[in-house]
Structure 1
Amino acid sequence: MSSGFRHWIREYKSKWLPSYSESALVEFSFPAILIGLLIGCLLCFTNLYFGLQTGFISMMSLQSALIGFLVSQMLPTPLTPQELILVQTTATATGTMPLAAGFVGIIPALGLIDKERDGSPPVHLTWIAGIGWSCAVAFFGVFLSPPIRKQVIIEEELAFPSGTATAQLISVLHKLPPPDTSLRRRNGYQSVEDQDFEEDDHPVRETTPLRDPEVTPTAGWHELLWSFVASSLLTLAAYFFPVIFAIPIFGNYLAREWAWSFTPSLSYVGQGIIMGFPTTLSMNVGMFVGWGLLSPIAKISGWAPGPVGDMTSGSRGWILWVSLAIMCADSLVSLLPVAWEFVVDAARRIKHGSLSSPVEGKEDGEIESADRLVPRRWVIIGWCASVLAGIVLVWIVFGHEGIRPAATFAGYVIGGLLSVLAVRALGETDINPVSGLGKISQLFFAWIQPGNIVANIIAGGVAEAGAQQAGDLMQDLKTGHLCGASPRAQFYGQLIGSVVSIFVTTTAYSLYTRVYPIPGPSFPAPTAYVWLSFARLLRDGQLPENSYVFMVVFAIIFALVSAVKFYAAKKQLWWAKWIPSGVAFAIGFLNTPSFSIARLIGGILEHIFHKRYARSGGDIRLIVIASGFVLGEGVTSVVSLILKTCGVGVFSCWGCGQSGICGGCSA
């Protein structure tokens, strides 16, 4: 870290924070926590809804900052930039629990276990058991973040593009001097360097107090409101008339026999905007290869004789294995350079006599005072307590037929080590490879506790939880570092968000399972089949007919593609972003075409806005609109759930019968 940047941060804090030694408590405010929890609960329902539908969830830290800023403008005293960071940190911790606790993959996978085939009965968690499981995995990843922060953010200065983009956005919203960073701009967001700031040798505003920041107008409320309403009304209309979300634009035959329909969901359009054009393009190329080429080949050749959409005997279940091979190959190749750098760095530190101090040639660049950092004893005691409580809770929830306590401890240790790789991978590539890391843990447990499907899936879930939390929460710490926020205040927000989300996520999932079959037509939970299929493969080694040939071929192809993509990104070559993403390509296999096409529309819109309107601020408004689209359907899904619970069904199934497909109403 340059001395100039450290000087800028210290000067920034001394002039913007009234009492530096007490600033952690100043930043930790009740309004910020409350707003963060409200936004996080909305994101929690939204992520659970979309996660069970498509396997995709979003961290939404940038969107949380936007919404938090708009909400705070209605308060008598608007939130400061540091409080706004606390908002998005709390919202992120609350909103990502559906993935961290495995409610979009692990828990549905346990319910799919077959007694005759797998040797264990299916596991269906009650509400109280779901609370216990969530408590077991909700915190140890949070305690992993503070000790890793100094290494990856202060010393190595990893990019963390999403966290940096959020810091840039907060600077724009509050008209602050931009963070000192030369990172590439995030898709769909205008770099702060393009804004009209005045150049100054000392870019610190001396006269603006902490609680009276200069802010932009609240015009974003209009975009957020109308996009939210539009998405909500369309979702509600699709509940009463299911054909709206199952339009056979390619003809009734392709819709009925080959699952080629279109879901004109504004939320998927919004997700496409957030994901960006290169990612959605990769996803749709994967969709075409999987559903347009491999699915017909498997069906016509008799390798998958069942209905196309069947995950057991149909071509959807057959191409699932190819998708799994692609994800594993991509994740492995992406992690190898990160793991190698980690080993080399550790060896260098050992050579210089300390694993905790910087290597020779680097100085300790910590810019925070001790009262603003998370004490080391908190981390040690908290991590040990969370692991010990987790071992006990997992044993209580799953019993002797599940995973042994010693094996659970091994799962936490493996998960902790893999979390370091997740943080580094996310910091360098902006992709948290939690799926691949979970598979690595499953590989270990095929040896630690062989033949036990339940233990294998649980072990993967523990590793995924730690990697997801430690990685994604590090993005928030990067944002806080660039904007001068207190790491301790963010740590409080993470813990509070995790506690609240345990109950919100478990309750929401319990409500969904009472009304809808999961997996089922409305919520296919595709990642559940990925977890279970890999566990079965490790147990008995059986693959669908001739799938291994395509798995090997596609694994080799995307191992090479991933290597080229990593090299191009490392060299900062302009064409790196256009190399297909293996994970996005594989998700195109997992989801039916109806989901991917709408996301491509959003990606195209993002590309057009970024090219034509970015310099006029249109990209920031586009993010607001996309957030409204996503939140609209996510929130309205709760209304649909209540209607379904009260016995209010669809008004008409017209159109579904004519096309021979169902919009997912399960009527």
Structure 2
Amino acid sequence: MSERPSGRAAATPVLVPDESASPALHPVPAASLPAPPSPELTVRALVAGGLIGSVVAVTNVYTGLKTGFWESGCVLSALLAFGGLSAVARRSTPLSPLETNLSQTAAVSVGALPASAGLLGAVPALAMLGTQPPGWAVALWGVGLGTLGVLFAFALRRRLLEDEALPFPTGAATAELISTLHSTGSAYAARARGLWVSGLASMGLTWLRDARGLVPPASLLPGTLKVGGLGADSLLVGIGWNPMLLGIGVLVGPQVGLSILLGAAVAWGGLAPWLVREGLVKEAGYLTFSGWLLWPGVGLMVGAAAASLVSQVRALPSVVRDLRGLGRQGAGWEATAGQWVSRAVLPAILLTGVMAWFAFQLSPLYFLLALLLTFPLSAVCARATGQTDIAPMSPVGQLAQVGFGMVVPGQPSLNVAAGAVVSGAASHTSASLWSLQSGRLLGASASRQLLVQLPGVLLGAAVAIPAYSLLVSAHGLGSEALPVPTGQQFKTVAEFTSRGLAGMPPSSTLATGLAFLAGVLLSVGARGRLARLLPSAAAMGIGFVVPPYYAVTLCLGALLAAIVGRLRPSATQTVQSAGAGAIIGESLLGVFIAALLGLGLLQSSG
């Protein structure tokens, strides 16, 4: 779901955690698969991919703004595509594995657009800094960056997937799932049952909570229970009635869930009471505490990001070779597609540059400076994704922010925009390579995958921008309902690189420095024998930013899934599908309720 630390135990809050939390799946050689009984590129595959991708895009906007996690959607899209297309295929041409794969490829491209357009990080950060670009400009900006990411992934495909054979585990897991689904119907039945049942239950609970007010957002511990001298209710300690949080916990696993809970305990159970005792916070409350706590929280995440990126330094020679080989693809149809890639790069750059100037006040000179960082850092991100299944999209964006801040100090909005160029292109690069890896293992045509990925970027913009606007207008950025962890991270890094220590809250300098050091040490230590014992620094940082009941609920979901997996291993896949269903159900209905509120058809239950 995110870059899964906003995904897996990554070095930043936008991890892509879902598929990597699944049991290890091994790629199936294309030669072992039966010849496809139907064409690969079909109208029904495109329609299904577009519909599924729209659901993933809306879900990513919702979960990203609330928790910083977002979902690549490879495995989920493959499952839904198989189910939907199989129903249609009963009355027409039989469904092939390659057709299912092409549908999930389109869906992943649509679903990754919120990250590429910066809706989960850069755009909220700019809004909190006082800059609000129009929605249509953000959409075109996202289309430009998403297109660059797709083209860059296609150009890197041969070297990373074939020459160096990087595993890209999520892509391999998707290929095996598709192969399994087409060989036995029971695999789909078990997964689909958990997905649909939990999705409907999640929708029902969300409606009772947000539309009718019959269920509270959270069951908080009574104020008579003290945490560091403060009432537990004033610190928002309790369990949330949020199926989405339980679902995220199921997908990220116990290590990330416990890490978020640990971060929340340190921040809200230790530092928050200390802030009150020292007089640094005059009134106990989420907004007043979070304004101080997000600094050490971001310190943890940036420290982990820095250590993660440093570990990629030895890959720089390979990155240089990657850049030199852009556009050099094989022969025949593949060579033609390679030429398209080379010719499409300049229009995508021009579109993004015009929007950067118009909507984000990023001058052509500054945009070119950001662009010079985009290609090598996207290659670094792609290599990290291939090796670890963790896509460090926010870390490379914030590395660009730091570099940009040294060259152009004192302009936080421009700093955020420059980081968004890098992280946006890197997001789609990694997501596209997951799908390309699945297609390679199934014997799919990479050129046809490219053809469906590019329109997916357009559809993603059309779906994600309205969903973002509805949620922000209904709940407000930086609120308890929309904490925007990744946006807070972009904003904090921009303020620090622009203003230095003078821009930090009183007494937060030492805490942030120590948190940064802890993030580095935890990230380095996680590469050794202690990897399973040490907490994730990126996940701990999220615990500093979100309300404590978010952390408790998410961790509860992770622990429940781990217990079920230990007691009944055969139910693991069903539980993971149930987690995905809980996320989708709350996300879709949450956006629908926000639309009703915006149209005046529903009164706020709060």
Give the TM-score band, short-chain normalised: 0.7 to 0.9
d(CA) in 1 for partners of 2:295, 2:190: 47
| 1:294-352 deviations in Å (ceiling 9; x for gaps) | 22223322233344322xxx331212111111111111111222221333x468x79xx
C-alpha deviation, 1:108, in angstroms: 1.9
Check whether the contact 2:248–2:579 (CA below 8 A) recurs between aligned residues: yes
Q: Whole-Å Cα distance in 2 between the matches of residues 108 and 260 of structure 1?
A: 26
Within the candidate set 563, 572, 590, 1:619 is matched to 572
Name the counterpart of 2:104: 88
Match of 1:577 in 2: 532
Give me the whole-angstrom Cα distance separating, in 1, the residues matched to 2:470 and 2:306: 37
Q: 2:205 aligns with which of 234, 254, 257?
A: 234
Q: Equivalences for 1:298-313 in 2 at 5 Å?
A: 298-310=275-287
Q: Kindly indicate whether the alpha-carbon contact (under 8 Å) linking 1:373 and 1:488 is maintained by their aligned counterparts in 2.
A: no
Q: Once the 2 structures are TM-superposed, how far is the Cα of residue 441 of structure 1 from its aligned partner?
A: 0.9
Matched, 1:450 2:422: no
The CA deviation string for residues 487-545 of structure 1, in whole angstroms up to 9 with x for no partner, is 11221221121110111111222333444433434323233222222211111112222
Equivalent in the alignment of 2:457: 498
SS in 2 for 1:485: coil
Residue deviations 1:192-231 (CA, integer Å, cap 9, x gap) = xxxxxxxxxxxxxxxxxxxxxx885645443332211110
* Mapped partners of 1:56, 1:136: distance in 2: 23
Q: Distance in 2 between matches of 1:370 and 1:282?
A: 50
**Correspondent of 1:610 among 565, 569, 584:** 565
Structure 2 distance, partners of 1:581, 1:219, is 32
CA spacing shift, 1:44–1:321, aligned 2, 3 Å: same
Distance (whole Å) between structure 2 residues aligned to residue 628 and residue 217 of structure 1: 14
Q: CA RMSD in A?
A: 2.7
Listed as ranges, the gaps of 5+ residues in structure 1 are 1-7, 114-121, 177-213, 358-363, 569-574, 651-664
Alpha-carbon displacement from aligned partner over 1:346-384 (angstroms, at most 9, x marks no partner): 68x79xxx9659xxxxxx9x9x87435773222221122
Q: Does 1:377 align with 2:339?
A: yes
Alpha-carbon contact 1:44-1:504 (below 8 Å) kept: yes
Is 2:324 the counterpart of 1:316?
no
Find the counterpart in structure 2 of residue 641 from structure 1: 594
**8 A Cα contact 1:565 1:576, kept in partner:** yes
Task: Report the equivalent of 2:35.
Answer: 16
Check conservation: 2:78, 2:104, Cα contact below 8 A.
yes
Q: 1:446, 1:454 → 2: CA distance?
A: 11
Cα drift, residue 666 of structure 1: 7.5
User: What is the alpha-carbon distance in structure 1 between the residues aligned to residue 79 and residue 36 of structure 2?
Assistant: 22
Counterpart residue type for residue 229 of structure 1: L
Q: 2:149 aligns with which of 141, 146, 167?
A: 141
State the distance in 2 between where 1:372 and 1:520 align: 49
Per-residue CA deviations over 1:164-189 (Å, capped at 9, x if unaligned) read 2222222222239xxxxxxxxxxxxx
Task: State the distance in 1 between where 2:572 and 2:257 align.
Answer: 17
The separation in 1 between residues aligned to 2:301 and 2:336, in whole angstroms, is 35
Q: How does 1:277-426 map to 2 (within 5 A)?
A: 277-310=254-287, 314-343=288-317, 345=318, 356=325, 370-371=332-333, 375-398=337-360, 402-426=361-385
Deviations 1:46-91 (A, max 9, x none): 1111222222212121111112222222112453211212122211
1:257 offset after TM fit, Å? 2.1
Inter-partner Cα distance in structure 2 for 1:135 and 1:62 = 24
Residue 356 to residue 217, structure 1, CA distance change in 2 (3 Å)? closer
Q: 2:221 aligned to 225, 249, 252, which one?
A: 249
Deviations 1:544-601 (A, max 9, x none): 2222212222222231221121234xxxxxx533332221111111211121212112
Measured in 1, the distance between the counterparts of 2:115 and 2:304 equals 20
User: Cα 1:629–1:154, aligned 2, differ >3 Å: closer, same or farther?
Assistant: same
Partner SS, residue 268 of structure 2? helix
Residue pair 1:166, 1:479 contacting (<8 A) in 2 also: yes
Deviates more, 1:369-378 or 1:233-242: 369-378
Q: Tell me, which stretches of 5 or more residues in structure 2 are unaligned?
A: 1-27, 225-229
**1:457-507 CA-partner distances (Å, limit 9, x unpaired):** 110111110111111221111111222222112212211211101111112
Q: Return closer, same or farther for 1:346/1:591 CA change in 2, 3 Å cut-off.
A: closer
**CA spacing shift, 1:548–1:489, aligned 2, 3 Å:** same
Matched, 1:60 2:34: no
Deviates more, 1:267-276 or 1:370-379: 370-379
Contact 1:374–1:487 (CA under 8 A) maintained in structure 2: no
Instruction: Check conservation: 1:261, 1:593, Cα contact below 8 A.
Output: yes
Mapped to 1, the partners of 2:587 and 2:122 lie a distance apart of 21
Tell me, in whole angstroms, the C-alpha distance in 2 between the residues paired with 1:293 and 1:217. 46
- Alignment-derived partner of residue 158 in structure 2: 150
2:468 alignment partner, one of 482, 492, 509: 509
Note if contact 1:66-1:624 (Cα within 8 Å) is conserved in structure 2. Answer: no
Residues 330 and 219 from structure 1, CA distance in 2 versus in 1: closer, same or farther, beyond 3 angstroms? closer
Of the structure 1 ranges 515-524 and 319-328, higher mean CA displacement relative to structure 2 is found in 515-524
Name the SS for the 1:577 alignment partner.
Answer: coil
Structure 1 pair 555–630 and aligned structure 2 pair: CA distance change class (3 A): same
Q: Per-residue CA shift, 1:122-158, capped at 9, x if unaligned?
A: 2223333333332332211111101211222112222
**What does the per-residue CA deviation read over 1:625-660, in whole Å, with 9 as the maximum and x for residues that have no partner?**
12211111111113312331343556xxxxxxxxxx
Query: What does residue 657 of structure 1 align with?
Result: none
- For residue 486 of structure 1, the aligned residue among 445, 450, 465 is 445
Distance 1:567 1:216 in 2: 36
In structure 2, the CA distance between the partners of 1:250 and 1:491, relative to structure 1 (3 Å rule), is: farther
How does the TM-score come out when normalised to structure 1? 0.79
Change (3 A) 1:156 1:594: same
| 1:33 aligned to which of 19, 32, 46 | 46
Tell me: CA distance 1:640–1:255, structure 2 relative to 1, closer, same or farther (3 Å). farther
TM-aligned CA distance change 1:93 to 1:553, over 3 Å: same
Q: Which residue of 1 aligns with 2:253?
A: 276
- Mean Cα displacement is larger for which, 477-486 or 226-235? 477-486
Q: CA deviation at 1:238?
A: 0.3
Partner Cα separation in structure 2 for residue 374 and residue 330 of structure 1 = 41
Report the more deviating stretch, 425-434 or 518-527: 518-527
Q: Distance in 2 between matches of 1:536 and 1:391?
A: 24
**Paired residues of 1:248 and 1:261 also in contact (CA < 8 A):** yes
Match of 1:198 in 2: none
Task: Give the 3 Å change call, closer, same or farther, for CA 393–495 of structure 1 in structure 2.
Answer: same
Counterpart CA distance in 1 for 2:477 and 2:499 is 25
Alpha carbons of 1:521 and 1:581: their partners in 2 closer, same or farther (altered >3 Å)? closer
| Letter paired with 1:16 | A
Contact in 2 for aligned 1:63/1:623 (Cα 8 Å): no
Q: Which amino acid aligns with 1:461?
A: A
State the alpha-carbon separation in 2 of the partners of residues 90 and 300 from structure 1. 54
Q: Report the TM-score when normalising by structure 2.
A: 0.87
CA contact (8 A) 2:106 2:452 kept: yes
Equivalent residue in structure 2 for 1:433, among 366, 383, 392: 392
Change (3 A) 1:608 1:375: same
Match of 1:204 in 2: none
Among 111, 122, 131, the residue aligned to 2:127: 111
Counterpart mapping for 1:652-663 below 5 A: none
Asked whether the equivalents of residues 64 and 91 of structure 1 are also in contact (C-alpha less than 8 Å), the reply is: yes
2:115 paired with 1:99: yes
Distance 1:300 1:149 in 2: 56
Query: Is the contact between residue 222 and residue 233 of structure 2 (CA under 8 Å) also seen in structure 1?
Result: no
The verdict on how the C-alpha distance between 1:666 and 1:458 changes in structure 2, with shifts beyond 3 A counting, is farther
Q: Separation in 2 of the partners of 1:516 and 1:258?
A: 20
CA contact (8 A) 2:371 2:421 kept: yes
Residue of structure 1 equivalent to 2:16: none
Cα 1:597/1:138, change in 2 over 3 Å: same
